[in-house]
Chain A
Amino acid sequence: MKCIEVTIWLFLAAVVSAKPPNMVFMLMDDMGWGDLGVYGNAAKETPNLDKMAAEGMLLPSFYSANPLCSPSRAAMLTGRLPIRNGFYSTNAHARNAYTPQNIVGGIPDSEILFPELLLQAGYATKIIGKWHLGQQPQYHPLKHGFHEWFGSPNCHFGPYNDVTTPNIPVYRNASMAGRYYTDFPINRSTGESNLTQLYIQEAVDFIHKSVGAGSPFFLYWTPDATHDPLYASKTFLRTSSRGLYGDAVRELDYGVGVILKLLTQLGVASDTLVIFSSDNGGATYAKEMGGSNGPFLCGKETTFEGGMREPTIAWWPGTVAGGTVSHQLGSMMDWFSTALDLAEIKEPDDRIIDGMSLLPILVNGTVTDRPVFYYRGDELMAVRYQMYKAHYWTWTNSIDEFNHGTDFCPGEEIANVTTHDQVNHTSQPLLFHLGRDPGEKYLIKPKTAEYIEAMKLIQPIVDEHHKTLVKGAPQLNYCDPAVMNWAPPGCEDLDQCLPVPHHDQTLCYWPH
């Protein structure tokens, strides 16, 4: 065994010794585990992703750090749970908070994002697409490890009237390049927009430029066409049997194909780790306009499997064996540690990092036991260890919201599990076996030997987690209309500065 380990480490050393590899992390928005052909979607409309999986590694047990976009993305980039990095709210118990236009907070300067460290190691870094780590300039990508940015601090909600609410800006680097709907059109009646095409072209240009310059590069490609309101370019509209959502998926799949093909053509495929995943589960509340979470319970906003299990693929020809599957329990926060490992950068030792390097899994398939923590806002809702998942708290949304048509679990109602009250199960957590019961339908009875044995493993993990947890200061408590994107940097050049209203800072309202 020792001998094998030595061999592996020698090999890893060889992998990273010359020039550190390039990294392309593709993070989708609200795409569900069940949306890819390779993950069992009945439409089978993702030939490029299916091919990527055939040439790489499929990771079916991979999780986002949170069931909502902003905390999920902040956790990925910091390698730390939102409860540690501050991307949560204490305004009410167990609420999903994010960064809408009027959010005051954002990613704190005290947090270390892995692209900041990659900069020091000589990487060229770029984010294309949605940032969502804060609206105000001090929180933007160029202040937190990226050389370049093309995209937006927010989702593409709108159109707004620029009077009560400004339209959301699209940035090129530190300055705005225009606004959604006015300068970057999305036709809300047809669903047509060429944004994904722009994002693909940006990726192509950046890869060309970086390969030409000879420096290692990190591309964070995070288009948002599968987030409501959905869009696709004219070429892809009405091409999917699934409707507009499927059109958006098909165009993103096409984009993945373009990027992988380019890496191959430029001869850098064997020097580039490409990861595909999504920020949280499919938005089941969006009905036919949302993604599919396959066999998993509920979706986005919840801590059931549908909310946090992500369609993940790793691709690195020559290093990651093609057609492999790893059941490693993975977390998006692992990309932090993996990126540092690949770039031979020491992990920060002044803080807890929740990620672990996936290099041993990617290279050698070595699986390590580790827990997965399912947080919703300030509450640890559930914990998975090995095949068992214990729910300490359950909640979908309030019965009032549900009765008004917001359903996070359409067609699924499990007594005492998909609860419309926040139910505390701490004295006797609800336990599921995710191998035999991936849909979290059949509770393991508390008096059984199986339950007792599983909880003997899980409870100490939970106790230890609570005991050692140092919560970060919550960043998502306050909202203020004055911080909205009235006058973003660069608005003067475009003559697009709007009058800024008076400050009116209040506690944000997070309904679920």
Chain B
Amino acid sequence: MCPCVTCFYPDVQCAPPGSEESCNAKMVPCPLVENDTILQQPADLLTLTEKYVQAAKSIIKTNADQSQPFFLYFAFQHTHQPQFASEKFTNSTLRGPFGDSLANLDWAVGEVMSTLKLYGLDDNTFVFFTSDNGPAQIHERRGGNAGLLRCGKGTTWEGGMREPAIARWPGKIKPGKTTELAATIDLFPTIARLTGAAMPNNVTIDGIDMSPFLFGNGTSDRDYYVYYSTEPVSEMGPAAVRWTHYKAHFHSKGGLSPDVYPDEVCRANYPLHYYDPPLLYDLNQDPGEIYNLKLDEHVQVMENIEKIRDYFQSTVVFGVSQVDSGVSDDAELCAKPGCSPFPSCCTTKTPSSHWDTFYRPHP
């Protein structure tokens, strides 16, 4: 995502010369898009979150006015590198750039929630908060924190794939906590159930409806989870399988952790390792995956795990890799198609007048 010029108020560069942050000048300036239109290129990061919030508010208001049910997918750029924050949140936290970015995100969540209340939609809206993967430890002090979990982004250890998740729906979801096993892929069938939409019958859906424990007093219908690596190979099968609170690792490789990271299996330079016999952990007693269990004391557990692994290995049909289909300049969004010198010529006039007229803040 580069070159994004200014990341912190008033003029802190995203990738100042000599800093540890890198800027790939072969990429177009990061665009801000609305439907088919590039509104800003490069996007003004100092006001981006505010614009997102204004857009969210506008969508909520418009639909509230028309009593139209709506789905809002608010997918933040926070807290990915390069981190950024508006004036109000620059230097606002103890954690530095990452903390400021997170605080800016947190503010935006609050704005959305209060807008729902404002339009009386609070009791009729299912809100779900989560993250796409574990923290990018490669950025060291500017990376996130997986707490007591092992490793981070890019690995099949818990730190790579266990996510902070909050579900909210007053009257439908009991306040408190649940430790039921669930995954982001479970949102799909859960939403299908909520909306009465038919599940597609021509593809395999891996998600499992979360309704029993989210909206009722039931337990999760999911008792397993399958972890594939970031570069899966059909013959290798899943890297790890969780069954109830046990998790077995069959192979792993390092992710996005730096050479100085204290746990070598997380480091980017840690090559692919096969575990035969597999490594087994009890995630309830040992969420950090530190203490390998004796397999001869967990024969039934391993049988169940092997069954799940074999099932996936024998039935999963890999889709055509989209990542392997290569890269092309044509795929990059450019405000002035065909301009030169590419890619730095891909810019809009700033500020965008369209933005100012369309997304004027609501009083």
Interface on A for B, CB 8 Å cutoff? Answer: 34, 37, 40, 42-44, 241-243, 245-246, 287-288, 292-295, 297, 327, 387, 409-415, 418, 433, 435-439, 441-443
Contact = CB atoms under 8 A, between A and B. Distances in A.
Contacts of A418: 262
A295 B262 CA distance: 12
B145 interface: yes
Interface of B: 93-96, 98-99, 140-142, 145-148, 150, 177, 179, 245, 258, 260-264, 282, 284-291
Contact of B260 (A327, A387, A414): A414
B142 A413 contact: no
A43 B96 contact: no
A30 B215 CA distance: 38
Nearest to A412: B262
A437 B258 CA distance: 14
A281 B37 CA distance: 55
Given A294-B148, A327-B94, A415 B260 contact: yes
A44 B147 contact: no
Contacts of A435: 93-96, 99
Given A411-B288, A412-B263, 17 more contacts: A34-B148, A43-B179, A242-B284, A242-B285, A287-B286, A288-B285, A292-B288, A294-B147, A387-B94, A411-B290, A414-B260, A414-B262, A433-B141, A435-B94, A441-B140, A442-B260, A443-B260
19 contacts: A37-B177, A40-B147, A42-B179, A42-B287, A44-B179, A242-B284, A245-B285, A295-B148, A297-B262, A410-B291, A411-B262, A411-B288, A413-B263, A414-B260, A418-B262, A435-B94, A436-B142, A441-B262, A442-B140
A292 B149 CA distance: 11
B145 A438 contact: yes
Contacts of A327: 94
Closest 7 CB pairs of A and B: A436-B141, A435-B94, A412-B262, A241-B284, A442-B140, A44-B177, A411-B290
Given A411-B290, A442-B140, A34 B179 contact: no
A99 to B, nearest CB: 30
B285 A243 contact: yes
B134 to A, nearest CB: 13
Contacts of B140: 437, 441-442
B166 to A, nearest CB: 12
Given A411-B263, A414-B262, A436-B95, A42 B141 contact: no
Contacts of B95: 435-436
A294 B150 CA distance: 11
Nearest to A39: B147
Nearest to B145: A295
Contacts of B94: 327, 387, 435
B207 to A, nearest CB: 22
A241 B140 CA distance: 32
Contacts of B179: 42-44, 241
B145 A243 contact: no
B252 to A, nearest CB: 14
A297 B262 CA distance: 9
Given A413-B262, A415-B260, A295 B147 contact: yes
A433 B99 CA distance: 13
A441 B261 CA distance: 6
Contacts of A294: 147-148
A293 B148 CA distance: 8
Contacts of A292: 148, 287-288
Contacts of A34: 147-148
A13 B99 CA distance: 38
A410 B98 CA distance: 27
Contact of B245 (A241, A246, A387, A438): A241
B263 to A, nearest CB: 5
Nearest to A34: B148
Nearest to B287: A42
- Identify the interface centre among B145, B150, B291: most chain A CB within 10 Å of its CB: B145
A130 to B, nearest CB: 25
A415 B261 CA distance: 9
Contact of A439 (B98, B145, B245, B289): B145
A409 B288 CA distance: 12
A237 to B, nearest CB: 15
B96 A411 contact: no
Nearest to A289: B285
A387 B4 CA distance: 29
Contacts of B291: 287-288, 410
Contacts of A413: 262-264
A436 B98 contact: yes
A442 B288 contact: no
A417 B211 CA distance: 47
Nearest to A413: B262
Contacts of A42: 147-148, 179, 287
A245 B287 CA distance: 13
- Identify the interface centre among B93, B150, B286, B291: most chain A CB within 10 Å of its CB: B286
Contacts of B262: 297, 409, 411-414, 418, 439, 441
A442 B141 contact: yes
A246 B283 CA distance: 13
Contacts of B93: 435
A242 B179 CA distance: 12
A302 B179 CA distance: 32
Contacts of B177: 37, 44
A42 to B, nearest CB: 5
A441 B290 contact: no
Contact of B96 (A241, A293, A295, A433): A433
A247 to B, nearest CB: 11
Contacts of B284: 43, 241-243
A248 to B, nearest CB: 13
A299 B96 CA distance: 25
A437 B291 CA distance: 25
A246 B286 CA distance: 11
Contacts of A412: 262-263
A292 B145 CA distance: 15
Nearest to B257: A441
A130 B95 CA distance: 37
B58 to A, nearest CB: 32
- Identify the interface centre among B94, B95, B146, B261: most chain A CB within 10 Å of its CB: B94
A413 B266 CA distance: 12
Contacts of B147: 34, 40, 42, 294-295
A441 B148 contact: no
A37 B147 CA distance: 13
Contacts of A245: 285
A37 B282 CA distance: 19
Contacts of A409: 262
Nearest to B162: A42
Contacts of B96: 433, 435-436
Contacts of A414: 260, 262
